[in-house]
């Protein structure tokens, strides 16, 4: 399973890359806003740090504008994936860009039927937002399970990868992994939470203390 990092913060991307945990990066207009940086500049910088797929989202809602922006974004680096919303216009852009060999991540997916459409139209990734579904009392994990199941049944026709997005906890990461998601895009703080366990800390403190008591040097 691949780990993408859901951020446009360069320092976070660099630190997690050193840990070997960054297979790719996803961004969206909100994350670009939070970074305070110029959109093209930050995407260019990220793509020079991470060799894996970098999702950069279009900022228009009309299909032709999305296609034009997607072509522009794809010129920034050969690892750019163009993110388009799951709307009729977004699907038109998905088909056009995908058939021009530009990778597409269809975002803001909240139903299995939406995911089926993106799969049929050649999306490279579908991004179901599980946290936002959980927020409104609909289990996001069930959506991941449904999409994985549909794509598996139709794997001869559908090559799209399930990219679990809107992840808010370490538990969700392990759950989407169990459900068969190909990718999880994870905010940096959740990666750090995944590393930590209180019993690891307690166990390590005991081992270090007992080692000191042996009086040995190594």
Using H for helix, E for strand and C for coil, what is the string for the chain?
A: CEEEEECCCHHHHHHHHHCCCCCEEECCHHHHHHHCCCHHHHHHHHHHHCCCCEEEECCCCCHHHHHHHHHHHHHHCCCEEEEEECCHHHHHHHHHHHHCCCCEEEEEECCHHHHHHHHHCCCCEEEEEHHHHHHCCCCHHHHHHHHHHHHHHCCCCCCCEEEEECCCCHHHHHHHHHCCCCEEEECHHHHHHHHCCHHHHHHHHHHHHHHHHHCCCC
**In the complex with ligand G3P, which residue's Cβ is closer, 154 or 160?**
160
Catalytic residue among 2, 14, 37, 83: 83
Residue 160 sits in the site that holds ligand G3P (CB under 6 A): no
- Out of 181, 185, 190, 191, which residue is the one contacting ligand G3P (CB under 6 A)? 185
Q: Does 129 bind ligand G3P (CB under 6 A)?
A: yes
Residue 62 annotated to the active site = no
> How many residues interact with ligand G3P (rule CB under 6 A)?
9
Using the rule CB under 6 A, is 69 a contact of ligand G3P?
Answer: no
User: Binder to ligand G3P among 141, 163, 165, 181 (CB under 6 A)?
Assistant: 165
Q: Given the rule CB under 6 A, which residues bind ligand G3P? A: 6, 26, 28, 129, 131-132, 165-166, 185
């Amino acid at each position: 399973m691949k780990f993408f990092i859901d951020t446009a913060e360069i320092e976070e991307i660099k630190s997690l890359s050193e840990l070997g945990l960054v297979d790719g990066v996803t961004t969206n207009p909100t994350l670009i806003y939070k970074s305070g940086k110029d959109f093209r500049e930050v995407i260019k910088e990220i793509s020079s740090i991470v060799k894996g797929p970098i999702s950069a989202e279009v900022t228009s809602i009309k299909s032709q504008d999305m296609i034009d922006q997607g072509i522009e974004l794809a010129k920034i680096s050969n690892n750019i994936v163009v993110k388009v919303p799951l709307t009729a216009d977004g699907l038109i852009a998905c088909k056009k860009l995908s058939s021009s060999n530009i990778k597409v991540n269809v975002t803001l997916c909240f139903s299995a039927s939406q995911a089926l459409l993106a799969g049929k139209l050649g999306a490279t990734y579908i991004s179901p937002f599980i946290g936002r579904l959980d927020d409104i009392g609909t289990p996001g994990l069930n959506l991941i399970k449904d999409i994985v199941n549909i794509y598996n049944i139709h794997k001869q026709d559908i090559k799209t990868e399930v990219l679990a997005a809107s992840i808010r906890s370490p538990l969700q990461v392990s759950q989407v992994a169990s459900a068969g998601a190909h990718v999880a895009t994870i905010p940096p703080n959740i990666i750090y939470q995944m590393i930590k366990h209180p019993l690891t800390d307690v166990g390590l403190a005991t081992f270090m203390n007992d080692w000191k008591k042996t009086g040995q040097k190594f």
